[in-house]
Structure 1
Amino acid sequence: MTRPLRILTLSTLFPHAGAANFGIFVERQTAELNRRAEADVTVINPVGLPPWPLSKLSRYRDMVGLATHELWNGLRLFRPRFPLIPGMSGKSNPDRIYRAILPLVRQLHEENPFELIDAEFFYPDGPVAMRLSEQLDIPFSIKARGADIHHWGNQPGCQDQILAAADKAAGLLAVSCALKQDMIDLGMIGDRITVHYTGVDQSQFQPVNREKMKAEMGIAGPLLICTGALIPRKNQALIIKAMTAFPNARLILAGSGPEETNYRRLADRLGVAGQVQFMGNVPHQKLAALTAAADIAVLVSRSEGLANAWVEALACGTPIVISAAGGAKELLANPDAGRIVEENPDAIAEAIRSILASPPDQQAVRDTVSGFSWESNGDQLLAHFQRIDSDGRIGN
């Protein structure tokens, strides 16, 4: 039997007990890969903590007590700490992370040598993987997911690090063709970038009897859902404004973030506070039920790679109203599955009104993402890593 490929997965986003959805797409992808006999994965999830007393802030409180080593969904997981200066350390984070985790990586590599490093985000993970690769003398691959290119790729002091890592990487991944083009526009070589679509748990995210589910929730009118962190880039303010056109509708905001206070004030000022439900971070199983119960999922981000929430909604048979960000046009080729709209409340409201007037068949919507699964995602990822292990470098 062939010996499994020893992979070190580096990811600055990964779920933990206090935030079970935090980077859950990385966990699902990595767990799927690790279930295969051909791969043996160790995960390092660097945890950034500011100095005391900033470490006592609510956003860091859950992370302070995290175990530094645990078994998570079958994955061997390490959470080394690195010093973080909130709002000020963006360009220096790769160096801080590298210095903090290098002793652990060396120790693990001496015990059972790694053969490949898998960086799950282009920034800050990519530059860290590049330096670890030099230390261990093994190849590395980097995956681009969206904001790591759209935001960090345009930040002073960060773009050069991203391009240097891209140049030295043995392989590059992008979650959509649109993101691949953005990487090329940034200065990367297109022949070296492989498109690697996300997965979805088709058994968990599936259609339900929507009217029955809404009745059990005490909802009589239309139900809308928006899943994502409450941050400006996700554009929830536009959806709240669009709610003024639907006085009998309910909007669920599934996610938390720094804009929550502002969004609550906006909803109150517009007179729709009673229609907007802030649910915070929702466990994934409950999120599947809420998404399936919704008449429409509205996710009009300023930028995306290819949002998992888009795919999960479609798998539930729930049509989507999304912006033209990232891989929107790749995913939403069938107009029955939703609408791509401009980023303004009137366009969002018109799309919602159109779908409510003629709801699409749930199974027809689900069929548009029938090819998305974690199994397929794992097959493609393993093949990508095996090509690197065999050839040393993808593309020229």
Structure 2
Amino acid sequence: MAPVPWFPFGHSVFGRYGEYAKVPAREVRHGIIVHHPRFLVVPKVGMRLNPWFLARAAARKLRALQQSGFDPDLIDAHYLYPDGVAAAMLGRAFDKPVVMTARGSDVTEIGRLPVFRGKILQAAESSSHIITVSNSLRQELAEMGVRTPITTLRNGVDADRFHILPDVSAKPHGIDDFHLVFAGWLIPRKRPDLVLKAAGQIPGARVTMVGEGPELPSLKVLAQSLGISSRVTFLGQQPPEAMPGLLGRADVLMLPSEREGWANVLLEAMACGTPVVSNAVAGALDLVTVPEAGRLVYSQTPEAYATAIKDVIYNHAGRRSVRAYAQQFGWREVSLAQQAIFEKAVEEFKKGQAVG
């Protein structure tokens, strides 16, 4: 079940809300039935009310599913707010165990705001287990006061989908001719400006910016002011099926985000044999642990990133070595560990019911 905000118009002029309106009430993905109940989003105050509206919409659908013969053993929510808070409401209403997964800004941004922190802590208290995608998120939740058992399960990578392309060279041609890529929302928190400023210090860098966002106009102006417009391509948002090719044809992926939980794009790039240069935050600290994976940058300046990029190019381990490291992070082990958490949560919940 994946609830979506209700919106009456499906035209592209309405942006992501227009896209929400096009989502079907029911669809099948990879043989799995997915329901999309609608929930109300109120402008201005919607953030505070979202968990209640989300839970209400999901409860209606869940009751209908129960009447049709399907009764779940457990409620699993991804992202602590509003999803986790809504799931905790559902757990109490339907007498089901709840497992929640923290993925990044739900802890590092929303969780730091007092008005939302209390709701997250209350939801965590009533859940059976919490999963985080990085150790830093687990530590921050503990510091917030979460006493529920917490396990770090890092996201995996689909190594069949993300792979070394047959027509790319094993290593970059050199510092005078290499391809740098950024993939993500063009928003201040992602610091895409640092990508252009770092590239401006390396004449041989060709840059591809993948993504959309409010910073796009200013980034184009910045590229012109740096004199690198001829070396920068703004591709806009790309479909998922295009990403293996975009990442696989790059020599380095740069991700200077101020905050990240676990950036899947880092691992996806590595699976393509492309090393990364990332800000030394959260999940990146757990992932970029060997030289072949790439470099972590602690000083958030164009000079520091340019130095790290040059280091990767000069000392590139070769695509096969980069991919071999990424293949350690497969989905099988993650999925089995998550299944074990689910089974334990259901078993302990039933025991609690029997005692009660």
TM-score (norm. length: structure 2): 0.90
1:273 correspondence with 2:238: no
Change (3 A) 1:383 1:53: closer
Secondary structure of the residue aligned to 2:317 is coil
Give the conservation status (yes or no) of the 8 Å contact 1:296–1:320: yes
Residue of structure 2 aligned with 1:187, choices 127, 145, 150: 145
Contact 1:210 1:294 survives alignment (8 Å): no
Q: Check the 8 A contact 1:49/1:55 in 2, yes or no.
A: no
Residues 146, 304 of structure 1: 8 Å contact kept: yes
SS across alignment from 2:335: helix
How many pairs are equivalent? Answer: 346
Is this contact kept in 1: 2:171–2:316, CA < 8 A?
no
- The residue that corresponds to 1:338 in the other structure is 294
Secondary structure at the aligned position of 2:18 is classed as helix
Q: CA shift at 1:46, angstroms?
A: 1.5
Hey, what does 2:72 align to over in structure 1? Answer: 114
- Residue 252 (1) aligns with residue 208 (2): yes
Equivalences for 1:143-292 in 2 at 5 Å? 143-189=101-147, 192-208=149-165, 209-211=167-169, 221-292=177-248
- The gaps in structure 1 that reach 5 residues or longer are 1-43
Structure 2 residue identity aligned to 1:180: R
1:152–1:74 Cα change, 3 Å: same
Tell me the equivalent position of 2:61.
104
Partner of 2:315: 358
| Percent of aligned pairs with the same amino acid | 33
1:62 to 12, 16, 19: 19
Residue 310 of structure 2 corresponds to residue 384 of structure 1: no
Q: Whole-Å Cα distance in 2 between the matches of residues 293 and 305 of structure 1?
A: 26
The one-letter code sitting in structure 1 at the alignment partner of 2:230 is G
Q: CA deviation at 1:155?
A: 2.2
Letter in 2 for 1:289: G
Structure-to-structure mapping, 1:14-29, within 5 angstroms: none
- Greater mean deviation of Cα atoms: 44-53 or 147-156: 44-53
Q: What code does the residue aligned with 2:179 have?
A: L
Greater CA deviation, 266-275 or 124-133? 266-275
Deviation per CA, 1:315-369: give whole Å up to 9, x if none.
Answer: 1111110011112222111123211002221111111111122222222212222
SS at match of 2:96: coil
Aligned to 2:331: 374
Mapped partners of 1:324, 1:229: distance in 2: 19
1:215-259 Cα shifts (integer Å, max 9, x gaps): 9xxxx9210111212222211111111121123322112222232
Give the Cα–Cα distance (whole angstroms) in 1 for the partners of residues 341 and 8 of structure 2: 39
- Where 1:180 maps in the other structure, the secondary structure is helix
**Root mean square deviation of aligned Cα:** 2.4
- How far does the alpha carbon of each residue in 1:168-226 deviate from its partner, in whole angstroms, 9 at most, with x for none? 1011100011211111122112x7001111111111212234249999xxxx9210111
Give, in whole Å, the separation in 2 of the partners of 1:170 and 1:105: 20
User: Among 79, 82, 89, which residue is 1:131 paired with?
Assistant: 89
Equivalent-residue separation in structure 1 for 2:172 and 2:39 (angstroms): 45
Choose from 72, 75, 88 the match for 2:32. Answer: 75
Distance 2:10 2:156 in 1: 40
Report the alpha carbon displacement of residue 277 of structure 1 after superposing the two structures with TM: 1.6
Return the TM-score normalized by structure 1: 0.81
